[in-house]
Structures are given as C-alpha cells and as structure tokens.
Structure 1
Amino acid sequence: MKVLIADDDEVSRLTLSSLLKGYGCELHVTKDGHEAMAVINQTEAPELIFLDWNMPGINGVEITSLIRQNLIDSPPYVIIVSSNNKKEQIIEALAAGADDFITKPIDGLFLKAKYAVAERILRVQDRLINTNKMLEKLAYYDELTGVMNRRAGIVAVDIEIERCIRKNELLAVALLDIDHFKHINDFYGHPEGDKVLKQFSKHVQQTLRPYDVLCRYGGEEFLIAACLKKRDESELLFERIRSTVENMDMEFNQAIDVTTSIGVCIHQPSQHSKVANLIKQADEALYEAKGAGRNKIVTVPD
C-alpha cells in the first residue's frame, strides 16, 4: 500500500515513518502542504494519507477538502494528525472529509489499530469498485461475446447518426445474421453454437475500425454502424466482413461451415432518421438477403 506522510514537525514525521516502515508499505514523506499535493496529484496516488493539521502553505484540513472535491474512483483514506484533541477540531476535520483523527504524541499500538481499520476499509472499497465495474460491464456488454449489448448498441448508433450529420457523412447501419444458426445449435450442440458466436463477433470486430459500432442485437443477429465518406466504402466493408466470416477456421470438435447474410441501410446526412427506422430498413434488407439464398449482402436504398 502506498502511504503519504505530510508533517512539518520533524519529530512527528520521523516517529510516524519509523512506525509505518514496520507495516511493509511504500512510504512517501513530505514536509509541507505543497509537497504533499504534488504526491497526491501523481498518477498513482497514495491510498492512505497522514496529514498534519498545521503545515506551511496548505494545512491538512484544506488538503483534505481539496481531495474530496476531486471525485475519483478510488478515494484515499485520510487521517488528520494534530496535537490538539478538542472535540470541535476533530469535528471540523471529519466535516472536511477526513476518515479518522489521531493525536500527538503518536502511540504505536493506537497507530497500528488505526492502520488496520484503514486497510480493511480500503479493501472493502476496492471490492465495491471492482463489483461496480463488473456490473457496469454487464449492463452495456454482452457476456458471451464481449461486444456491446442491444441497449448499448442502439444508444451508440444514435450517437453515430448525430456524428455523421455534423460531419456531413453517410452512415451504414447493418444487421448481420449467422446463416442456419439453429441447425448449428441443433446438430453440433449449444456449447459449439456459443463458440461460433464468440468467433464470429471476434472476426467481425477485427474487420471493423476501432470507432465503428458492433453489438449483439439478439440471438445470432449483430448490428453494425459505420460512418462513411462514399457509398462504395460500404460495399467494400461488408464484402470484407462476409468474406472473412465465410473463410473463418471454425474447427472445434469438428469443422463447422459458417456464413452470414447482411442487410445494410445507408443513411444520408440530410435525412435525420431515427435509429428504429434505420434498423427496420436494415432488417428488411437482411430478409431479402436471406431470401436470395443467404451468404449475401443487400443494401437499401439501391
């Protein structure tokens, strides 16, 4: 754990340093508020901070207040250190955002207990942050394939519509369907079908540009949105995707041939269409591509 000590009193500073060295933490020691802020503002900020109340430049309570104004994902645990243990001063420190308060002269056993509490709370905080990140990922990304889910994808397409209108560019909105996917599930089994979905999304993602939109729209259907300068870029992009899928090496327990049908709708920047309307047109084009024998691309308008 990275720990910062900020204290202009040399005796107090050395005492704290000496005691904390025994805990195996990474220590950073400063003599005033400005030095402390320089350490706090580093990319890898300290997780636990001991701040003397009275320091030249910026005092400990002022630093605490500045820390709490900065809404970061992993806020540090702050302990104010002071020789004054009056109730009013402790309340002021806690109101500024301090997590704890310790008085001078510093007692080793008392410090050990405070350190253990800080460590425990920081561990809980880390678990909560990781859980929230996982929940956020589940809210926006498809668990099986790792690409955006339907809800996030629709929002992303809406953003792309506005972006293309501003840039006066075309937007290709496409629905892709894995051909005969029900047969793959029925004949090879659902675990193999899941592998096909993962490999399909991986290969399509690698064919797209980093800023293009790809989401799992539902089942074996995927939605793509890509800003384009010219219409023929759409033909090249989706033919590349169709060809990539057709030539995928899908050998798991046995070889599986996979192809995709693609329905594309081209949105003009002057149209200001809604997402639902573009997807509806892409779906109609997809239906036509499947009706033409699958492994085809149909674009509307022609």
Structure 2
Amino acid sequence: MKILIVDDTNTDRLLLKMYLSKLEHDVIEAVNGEQAIIQYIKDANELDLILMDVQMPEMGGFEAVSKIRSIQESRNLEWVPIIFLSASAEAEDIDEGIRAGGDDYLIKPIHQKVLSAKMLAMQRIADMRHRLILANNVLEAQASTDHLTGILNRRALETVLDREVARSKRFESAFSFALFDLDHFKRVNDNYGHDAGDFVLAEVVKRVSQGLRSDDALGRVGGEEFGVVIFNCVGKKARDACERYRQLVAEKPFIFNGIEIKTSISVGCVAFDIKTDSRESIYKKADVCLYEAKGAGRNRVVYQE
C-alpha cells in the first residue's frame, strides 16, 4: 500500500516508517496537519491509508482529518481509510476521532505485531477498494459510451457541452458546436441491410475522429446524427474543421462485404455567444444550420457566427 504517516514526533514517525517499510509498504511523511492536507491533495488518487497522530501543534489530527474529508466530498474523490494514533485511550477521544472522519484508533506505543495485523486488514480493504473503483469506472464508461461506435452517447456529450458553456461564460472563451448526420442513410439500411448501416455508422465515426483535434469531443446524438464540441475555435477555423470532417467521409466509398457504399454528411455549426446562448440555444442553432445544409443539397457545411 501507499501510506501517509502524519506525526510531529520524529522518533515515532521514523519508527512507524521502519516497521511499514519492512512490511513492503510505500511510505510518505508529513510532520503536521497542514502538511498532511497538502500531501493528501497531491497524492489523493494514489493513497491507500493515512496514519494520523492526534496531538500536533498548529493543527491537530482531528481538525486535519475533518478538512481532508471535506476535500474528498467537495472534489468527489475516492474514500481513503484513516487511522488515528494517540497516547490517549479515553473513550471521549476515540469517539471524537471517529466523528471527525477517522475509521480506526490505535493507542501509542503501538506494538509491532498489532501494527502488522492492522496493516493486513487494511490491505484487504485496499484490495477491495481498488476492485470497487475499477468496477465503478467500467460502469461509468458504459453509461457514457455509445455501444455501437465507442464514442460519447448523447447524455455524456450534453454533459461536456454543459461544462464548456459554463467555462466559456466564466472565462469568456470561444468554442463552436456542430451537428452532422448521414445523407440518405435510410437508403443504406433499405438497400444493404441494418448490418451494413451499423458498419457505415462506425466507419464514419472512425473517419471523422481522424479529423478531430485531441481536445474536441465527438458524440452520437441518436440514429445517424452526431455532435462535436470544437473547443477554443470559431469562425473560419471552425468551418474548416467541419469541412475536414465532411471530406473525410465523402472522399471514398465504404466497403462492406465487397460492396461499395457511398455516403456523405451534412453539417451545421455555430459559434457560442457568451452573452445570449445556453446549451439549449446553441443546440437548436446547430440543428437549424444542419437542416439548411440538407435543404441546400446535402454534403455541405453551413456555419453561423
């Protein structure tokens, strides 16, 4: 495990570090509560356990742990177990420690066998915690991913768009939003079957993805319609980006079971106006531009400042 030891007494801290190093744990140190908070913020995603002394100058262990738990909650960080270390065996102190956010309480001086047994138990908890984090990450990815194309689904794309709208209004930064769909896609399904249609959708995503910058977000809105959040980009650069997507799709046919299938996309793109726009309004504007592109003959881009 990666363990943070917080203790202002050098001998106690070094003794703990020696014991834990012998048990092959990775140990980092802090000498007071304030330093513990700084170290926690730095290593929050890697820590498996915090051993926190109660009696320390400036900021004691109870206060430091209370602040660490507040940081966890406000930043939506993963829970990390915390064990208090104290020379006091008073029931009131133990109660206060658990209420402050601690998960266990060890009395100093700590016997080496007791520490070893406690670390074995904490290792089991750490292993279980890692499995739960991995499982949650998988579930989160499944909930935000379109199963056919592997890109963001509509809900996840709208979340990205919401964040970018908020960021743009706060920092007065520019971005564009594009909607595109496949021209005459129904003909693909009718003429070649739904397997061919699914193949073309997935291949269109691959081609468009080649034209995306690393920061831009592509998502499937539904059916054959897709959206792109084009960060920090408006005007000619945003229009050129959409032209790049269009050309990548139209430049050559798709080959499905030896059959050539030609398709193209129509694109509607708008720049976000920080004074008047919202997520809903920019979405509607992009949709209007998309229908203008289709009405003008398809396989083209309509961009609106």
TM category (shorter chain) comes to: 0.7 to 0.9
Q: Is the 8 A contact 2:239 2:301 kept in 1?
A: no
Q: 1: distance between equivalents of 2:65 and 2:173?
A: 48
Other structure's SS at 2:146 match: coil
- Which of 243, 247, 253 aligns to 1:243? It is 247
When structure 1 is superposed on structure 2, of 45-54 and 267-276 the one drifting more is 267-276
Q: Is the 8 A contact 1:161 1:171 kept in 2?
A: no
Larger Cα-atom Rg? 1
- Give the alignment's TM-score, normalised by structure 2: 0.74
Change (3 A) 1:189 1:7: same
Unaligned runs of 5+ in 1: none
- Give the alignment's TM-score, normalised by structure 1: 0.74
Aligned twin of 1:21 = 21
Change (3 A) 1:287 1:33: closer
**Root-mean-square deviation (Å):** 4.0
- Which of 191, 199, 203 aligns to 1:199? It is 203
Q: 1: distance between equivalents of 2:227 and 2:79?
A: 38
Aligned twin of 1:65 = 66
Aligned twin of 1:3 = 3
Q: 2: distance between equivalents of 1:210 and 1:80?
A: 44
When structure 1 is superposed on structure 2, of 87-96 and 107-116 the one drifting more is 107-116
- Count of residues in correspondence between the two structures: 294
Unaligned runs of 5+ in 2: none
For the pair 1:175 / 2:176, whether they are aligned, the reply is no
Deviation sequence 1:91-148 (CA, Å, 0-9, x none): 0111111111011232333323322332233333333333333343344332332333
Q: How does 1:187-266 map to 2 (within 5 A)?
A: 187=192, 190=195, 193-210=197-214, 212=216, 214-224=218-228, 229-230=234-235, 236-247=240-251, 250=254, 254=258, 256-264=260-268
Q: 2: distance between equivalents of 1:212 and 1:28?
A: 38
Deviation of the 1:237 alpha carbon: 3.7
Aligned twin of 1:106 = 110
For the pair 1:288 / 2:292, whether they are aligned, the reply is no
Q: 2: distance between equivalents of 1:81 and 1:286?
A: 68
Change (3 A) 1:179 1:113: farther
Other structure's SS at 1:42 match: helix
Percent of paired sites with the same residue: 29
Q: 2: distance between equivalents of 1:35 and 1:235?
A: 50
Deviation sequence 1:199-233 (CA, Å, 0-9, x none): 32132133244565532121222234558654x65
Aligned twin of 2:124 = 120
Q: Is the 8 A contact 1:262 1:285 kept in 2?
A: no
When structure 1 is superposed on structure 2, of 239-248 and 258-267 the one drifting more is 258-267
Deviation of the 1:37 alpha carbon: 4.6
For the pair 1:86 / 2:93, whether they are aligned, the reply is no
When structure 1 is superposed on structure 2, of 129-138 and 69-78 the one drifting more is 129-138
For the pair 1:133 / 2:137, whether they are aligned, the reply is yes
Q: Is the 8 A contact 2:177 2:286 kept in 1?
A: no
Q: 2: distance between equivalents of 1:181 and 1:299?
A: 22
